[in-house]
Amino acid sequence: MAGKKLRSPCRRRYLRAHNMNAWLSERLIRITDGGIRAVLSDRYRIMDSCDAVLLALDEFKREKLLKSVG
């Protein structure tokens, strides 16, 4: 593309795609039902759901909101 002058609609489409790729290359995107539901920051912590449940159960037990079984 260097040195080649793009026509206005084509140039806008190219720049839009280029900008979106640059902005989203460092982000996580959550998609639901074929549409973007959320764009997550680079600080978003990915956690396995099993780990999250175990952590929550420990907190509930610590706060005495849940009785231990066994």
The predicted pLDDT at position 4 comes to 61
Contact yes or no for 66/60 (Cβ under 8 A) = yes
The answer to whether position 41 is within a domain reads: yes
Q: What is the pLDDT of residue 67?
A: 67
Residue 31 covered by a domain: yes
Q: What is the pLDDT of residue 7?
A: 65
Dist CA 38 CA 22 (whole Å) = 17
Residue 3: inside a domain, yes or no? no
The whole domain housing 27 covers 8-62
Residue 28 is predicted with a pLDDT of 78
Check: pTM over 0.75? Answer yes or no. no
| Three-class secondary structure of residue 52 per DSSP | helix
User: Does the residue 56 lie in any domain?
Assistant: yes
Write down the pLDDT at residue 3: 56
Number of domains in the chain: 1
Residues of the chain with pLDDT under 70: 1-7, 66-70
